[in-house]
Chain A
Amino acid sequence: MLVGRLAQGALGILLGILVPLTALGIGPGALARDDSPAARRDDVPTKEHADGVVDYTLRAALDEHKHIVHGDGTIVWRNASTASVQELFFHLYLNAFKNERTLFLRAPVASGRGTSPVAEWGYIDVRKLVARELDGADLWPGADKTSPGDTDDETDIRVPLPRAIAPGETLTLDVTWDAKLPSIVERTGYVDDFHMVAQWFPKMARLLPSGQWRHFPFYHLAEFYADFGTYDVTIDVPTGMRVGATGARVAASSENGRDLLRFRQTDVHDFAWTAWRSFHQKTSRAEGVDLVALYPPGYDVIADREIATVTFALKYFGERYGRYPYPVLTLVHPPSGAGEAGGMEYPTLITCGGAWYGPPFTHDVESVTMHEFGHQYFYGVVATDEQTWPILDEGINSFAEADAMRAWLGTGSALDFMGLQVSLGALFRAGALPAVHNEPIAQSAETFASGADYGGLVYAGTATILDTLSNVYGHEAFARALGRYTRRYRFEHPTLQEFVAVIRENLGDEAAHNLERAISEKGWVDYRVANAISKRDDVAAGVFDREGKRETVERGTPSGATWRGWALVMRHGTLQFPVDVELRGADGTVQVVRWNGAEEWTRIPYEGKSELTEAIVDPLGNVTLDMNLLNNGFRAARPTMARRTLERATYGAALALQWLMP
């Protein structure tokens, strides 16, 4: 783990040098002018294409009865680092489901996706790995049998090379393998004749610019990381199966009762596909992108909702984060028995979820679809290391999801039923705050104590932190910052440092400091109004000799109309956000005072024509990270009854009593 973090630091330094050069138009990758509105505002040049490092030309034949994919093909890999390498690393993710001793299946994750027992094991057997440039030697017999440091796991395999491969040198690897799919578990597998074929081929790990491999076994909570390249895959399935896959279909033919479908896509770092006889299909087109929805019979309405979601998302994300760079997007809705295959992202292919009868006032279908589409940016185009920094894909993407859902569906983005509107942001906040004190967000996936912490902190926590930054430092400024981040690192592999640097550059040191504390130091904050009092100005009491006359002024003699007082506002916690404090007089006047939030408390002075009756800190609820919103206000005369709540609860109880006591 330490090695991995040091490698990230080295990459950070390297990118710190490369990025300014890239911005100046110097360095690898063709720069192009993104024509999205956000790009026009910012004038940030973006890459048109990735620097391809590894190209896969594969053929995959599905045995639908044995649920085995017979694969062969060629991997062309270039040493894009600055150092020679003596070994290769391959991810054999499917081996995570080989037996109960794998790192994945023995992980102490109590609940959630991937925790149900595997009904049928899955694994991948590499038959051959021949390097043409190394005298045609089969490298696989010399490969390690297990993951480094773990004799039970076979998901991270080192392949020693007979000689060093110099920087810039290319290896052409002929590979043959068989992938046995498990019963559906954690994104991949089969149910009956439905097949979700993901992480199915020997996948090269990513070589960092420093010459170190970023390789890791398949951890339960972690996802993936790889170099960009071109995938050209011919899928061979029995005739009658409908197939969806990464990329655009460029050829199709049939022979001997089997269909051969060729898919090709440049500038991606993974390839997934699905095959099922029962898929129904809808097509559409939005923002110049061909949309294909594959779904089970009876899910037509749900498919329409998913298409509507990505139609909005393509425009919204395109304007904010740069144009969607691929010609096609495939939406796969797995059948109900294959729920674990749903809610997942692959380049140009996402899997959705939800029951066919999902009511339109709950927006979970839209929410899942929006989230997975967002990954086309935060994972896909901005290809961060999902194992080391899940915050950069799941976290940022959860914010982007909630932001897009709010822009599309308003304050009822999660639920909008008979006047009851609940936003996705409110739900994220409720999911995040209980876990704030548990552990930092900015850590690698496998080091989280539990799946609940991982979900609450990485997804909901990051979304809430970024929402607070956006509210406090300005929605425009934050949108500009996130837009610059995505365009600057389009087809790149930024680290957390780069993300924080962009926030600092656009929102300032205070915002970046708060962000760092919130994600790395379990930062938290709770604003509270402790008291608010005022009294009318009194004339000084006593005996006074004025203009030759002696005058006695009694205590409590009012001088007139001025009331003076203060509101005592407190800030608990380690985060320091500037907030407004609203002081309200009995006559209805409102005074708004800005407090920088730097101290642990402040006394906000009040002067007005009437008594200070109410005070509230952060009246607009900008600091959604606030641990307790219910102590933000203070009333001199607190009402004794929550009449609206009592009325609504009474009515609800009265309706229930119709059934209980007719």
Chain B
Amino acid sequence: MVDAVSARWLRAPARRLGVVVVVYLVHLGLALGFAWPVANLLGDPTLSHPRGDLVLFEPGGLYLVEVLRLGRASLTSAARGMTFAALATLYVGLLPLGALLHALASAKRLTAAELVAAGARSFGPLSLLLGLSLVATALACVVPLGAGGLLEVKLKTALGDRGSDMAQAALWAVALALAAVIGVIHDLARAAAVSRALPGLAAARIGAEAFADHPIRGLTGWGVRGFTGVGLVVLLAWAATHVGVETSLRFAAVTALHQLAAFALVYLRADWLAEAIRHTRRELPFSAEP
């Protein structure tokens, strides 16, 4: 049972690189699924042009704006369809998440069948936790955002344009902070649900208690990885901009940069989940090293 796992396995997703790669590939496959119709709608109309879809990347955006203009109805329709798919993906994504958590919490070698079984087994509790998290986030955010709406006129009168906007931004920041706290608790609960094979409500309680025990460390562990990921994406976007996509070589380089960023995000996420597992193991101190 995963509770008996040696702590030294609980830290690094590097030990479970294969599973992390599989999760990355699942992401990539789903991303391709989402991207394919969009790429068809945007890119295909340019293929008769001698420069192909390179024209979409040209300075000035003449062709980019043109495909958006001419394909507006189709793109809107596709976006509507994707909204439903995105909602479904919220739940579909729980399967690889369950498998990943199980792998991170386990010391022994795991077969593909075991991982699939773990993903399926944890789908129920993780679904319940996801639902609870969405409801809790909505309830938590409605207070500061609702207050912002009610106070809009008074804030503008008292503080002027900029002061009022900054006060509203502060309320948004509060809402985002609450959402982040709920997100961290949610992750801790997920970790508990899978690593300790708990039902959803019990896992939620463990997650809340674990966060209450070490709130700063919980937020820091999540935040450092999150902001590292954002920084990496921005940095690589900047690099990709300078590389360009004019030649096959440059295109390959940009593709590699983007996929490096995508993999790094999955890896950072796995690293945080590994820490979340450690956090929820009450017999271990939060920062215990394996």
Contact = CB atoms under 8 A, between A and B. Distances in A.
Nearest to B45: A630
Nearest to A650: B35
Given A642-B39, A644-B56, A337 B48 contact: no
B36 A633 contact: no
B53 A427 contact: no
Interface in B61-86: 61-70, 86
Contact of B61 (A421, A615, A660, A661): A421
A453 interface: no
Interface stretch (B9-17, B24-32, B110-118, B193-201): B24-32
B165 A422 contact: no
Contacts of A355: 161, 165
Interface string B241-259: 1000100000100110011
A651 B258 contact: yes
A423 B160 contact: no
B48 A633 contact: yes
Nearest to B59: A411
A426 interface: yes
Contact of A630 (B70, B156, B162): B70
Nearest to A634: B48
A3 interface: no
A644 B39 CA distance: 9
Given A419-B241, A643-B251, A657-B89, A632 B49 contact: yes
A660 B269 CA distance: 13
Contact of A420 (B40, B61, B66, B262): B61
A644 B42 CA distance: 11
Nearest to B82: A653
Interface in B220-262: 229, 233, 237-238, 240-241, 245, 251, 254-255, 258-259, 261-262
Nearest to B61: A422
Contacts of B90: 660-661
A177 to B, nearest CB: 32
B224 to A, nearest CB: 16
Contact of B62 (A419, A429, A631): A429
A657 B27 contact: yes
Given A422-B65, A635-B47, A662-B93, A653 B31 contact: yes
B31 A644 contact: no
Interface residues of A, number: 68
A639 B67 CA distance: 18
A617 B266 CA distance: 46
Nearest to A630: B45
B60 A423 contact: yes
Interface residues of B, number: 70
A335 to B, nearest CB: 6
B60 A297 contact: no
A425 interface: yes
Given A418-B237, A654-B262, A660-B89, A647 B254 contact: yes
A153 to B, nearest CB: 34
Contacts of A658: 27, 229, 265-266, 269
B126 to A, nearest CB: 11
B285 interface: no
Nearest to B54: A644
A434 B229 CA distance: 41
A433 B57 CA distance: 22
A426 B161 contact: no
B189 interface: no
B124 interface: no
Nearest to A582: B50
Interface in A605-662: 614-616, 619, 621, 624, 628-635, 638-639, 641-647, 649-658, 660-662
Contacts of A661: 27, 30, 89-90, 92-94, 96-97
A335 B165 CA distance: 12
Given A299-B161, A418-B241, A647-B251, A657 B47 contact: no
Contacts of B89: 657, 660-661
A277 to B, nearest CB: 12
A638 B86 CA distance: 32
B35 A652 contact: yes
Interface string A334-350: 01110000000000000
B255 to A, nearest CB: 5
B44 interface: yes
Contacts of A192: 157
B53 A630 contact: no
A29 interface: no
B149 interface: no
A654 B261 CA distance: 10
A629 B62 contact: yes
B65 A430 contact: yes
Contacts of B127: none
A335 B163 CA distance: 12
B140 interface: no
Given A296-B160, A422-B60, A642 B50 contact: no
Contact of A419 (B35, B161, B240, B255): B240
Nearest to A528: B48
Contact of A647 (B65, B156, B229, B255): B255
Nearest to B243: A419
Contacts of A335: 160-161
A52 B34 CA distance: 66
A149 interface: no
A412 B52 CA distance: 22
Given A422-B65, A642-B39, A657 B93 contact: yes
A646 B48 contact: no
B137 interface: no
B39 A646 contact: yes
Contacts of B261: 651
B247 to A, nearest CB: 11
A653 B240 contact: no
Nearest to A651: B258
Q: Which of A337, A419, A582, A651 is most buried by chain B, counting CB atoms within 10 A of its CB? A: A651
B38 interface: yes
A534 B287 CA distance: 72
B53 A644 contact: yes
Contact of B165 (A357, A619, A624, A655): A357
B88 to A, nearest CB: 10
Interface string A317-354: 00000000000000000011100000000000000000
Given A419-B241, A653-B31, 16 more contacts: A192-B157, A299-B161, A336-B156, A425-B62, A434-B69, A624-B62, A630-B45, A630-B49, A631-B48, A635-B47, A639-B52, A641-B43, A644-B57, A649-B34, A654-B27, A660-B90
26 contacts: A355-B161, A415-B61, A418-B237, A421-B59, A422-B64, A423-B60, A429-B66, A433-B69, A628-B66, A629-B63, A631-B48, A633-B49, A635-B48, A639-B47, A639-B52, A641-B43, A642-B46, A644-B56, A645-B43, A649-B38, A658-B27, A660-B90, A661-B30, A661-B94, A661-B97, A662-B97
Interface of B: 27-28, 30-32, 34-36, 38-40, 42-50, 52-54, 56-57, 59-70, 86, 89-90, 92-94, 96-97, 156-157, 160-163, 165, 187, 229, 233, 237-238, 240-241, 245, 251, 254-255, 258-259, 261-262, 265-266, 269
